[in-house]
Structures are given as structure tokens and as C-alpha cells.
Amino acid sequence: MKKKLLGTLLAVALLVTQSIGVFAADSKTTQATPSGDSVGKYEMTEGTRENFSEVSSPEVLEQILAVNEGTATLESIAGQSEELKAELQGKTLVTKFFDLVPIDGGVKTEDGKYKVTFTVPNLTEALKDVKLLHYSTVRNVWEVITPSDVNYESKQITAEFEDLSPVAVIATKSGAGDSATSGSGTSPQTGVGSDWGIYVSAAVVLLGAAFVLGRKKRA
């Protein structure tokens, strides 16, 4: 009986540790995924130097990567542009910058713009004035885009772009408890931290129980 119980405990402990690995891997996601009509029409990839290879300005590329890494403020992107500074004042990062790429032409509006709908898991009603900070690699300009729809219940955002390149979701944080970041450029939370502690604790308890049973059997 003890042998069977020991085997069961070890098997459960193994599953728990595997689950931890899966959650850790998920923390590397782009924090935004295509949804609705955009599924299969757009690809959203992690904001890396390789994925942002179309950004021709080395300075802009370093700014984007620094904000994603949490070593630069969101406001640092504004540079000398007073208009952009005003747009970014009081804003917080909801997602890191990610690369947005059309598949088979994407979804176009009648006037030729790209229409994109995507899900942002940490979109909450505590985030107001939700907008998109976009760098056009075609026009080499920063712009702040106002979405045509922000649905807090489904956590979906719909917006139109003239062209596609690095994008980040930004907003004004009006309350506590959401998982967005401050304007300091700290990396957005992924929701993994609290689960990590739970699974590690469970693994420790199960492995401890298995060890005790094993010692009793040998005695």
C-alpha cells in the first residue's frame, strides 16, 4: 500500500513541476493575440531585435528594446516631440511592444487601412483612455492611435492602422489592482508570479511526503 502511495505522490509531484515549466514558458508571450476576424489574418510576435529588424533607425530600435526591458521610461520615446510628450503624459504600458504582421494581406477597411482585433488578457476597467503607441517603419514616425473599440468584458481591442510595425498598448491607470505597469518602463506583469508560488509549494510538500514514506519503508 505504501509503495503504491509513494508512486502516486511522486507522479503528482512530477506533473506539478512540469506545470511550472509550462507557466514559465507562457510568461514569454507577446501579451496580445489576434481574435475575431483577425485570427489567421495577423501574426503578433515578441518584441525582439530580430523581429524589429525593419526599424531602420538604430536610436528608435534601442528605445523600443529599452522600454520592453524596463530600463527606459515610456516618456523617453517622445524625444523632442511636444505633441507626443503630451500624448504619453500619465500613460502606462499595458503590453510590451510587439510586432504586428499581416498574413495574406490582413483585413482591410474600405479606405485601405489594416483593421486589427486582438485580445489583451490584462485589460481591465481600471485602465482608462486606452490607446496604441505605434512606430511606422514605412513613414518613420511615432503615432498614438485611438482604438475604434475597447471591450473590457471580452478584453478585446479593435483599431485601424495605416501600416503595421511595432505596437504597444498604453492607458491611464485609474485604480489599483490591475497588472499594467507604470510609466517607468518596468516590464508588464504576465500573471504567472502568484501561480508560480502555489505550484512550487505544492511540489515541495509532495516531495517531502514521498521522502518520509520512503524512509519509513526502509526502516
Q: Can you tell me which residue has the cell 495574406? A: 104
The residues near 158 (Cβ < 8 Å, ≥ 6 apart) are 36, 115, 116, 117, 147, 148, 149, 150
Cell numbers representing residue 9 in the block: 505522490
3-state helix, strand, coil in the chain (%, to 5): 35, 25, 40
24 vs 130 pLDDT, higher one = 130
Task: Answer whether 0.75 is exceeded by the pTM.
Answer: no
Q: Residue 100 has what pLDDT?
A: 97
Of 36-50, 78-92, 99-113, 146-160, minimum mean pLDDT range: 78-92
Across 80-90, average pLDDT? 93
Cα gap 214→187, rounded to integer Å: 44
Residue 198 has pLDDT above 80, yes or no: no
Q: Residue 80 has what pLDDT?
A: 83
Residue 78 has pLDDT above 80, yes or no: yes
In b/e form, how buried is each residue of 47-61, taking b as 16+ CB within 10 angstroms? Answer: beeebbeebeeeebb
* Sign of the alpha-carbon torsion through 34, 40, 41, 44: positive
Cα gap 62→105, rounded to integer Å: 29
Query: Do residues 32 and 95 make contact, with C-beta atoms less than 8 angstroms apart?
Result: yes
Which amino acid does the sequence have at 170? Answer: I
Of 20-29, 64-73, 90-99, minimum mean pLDDT range: 20-29
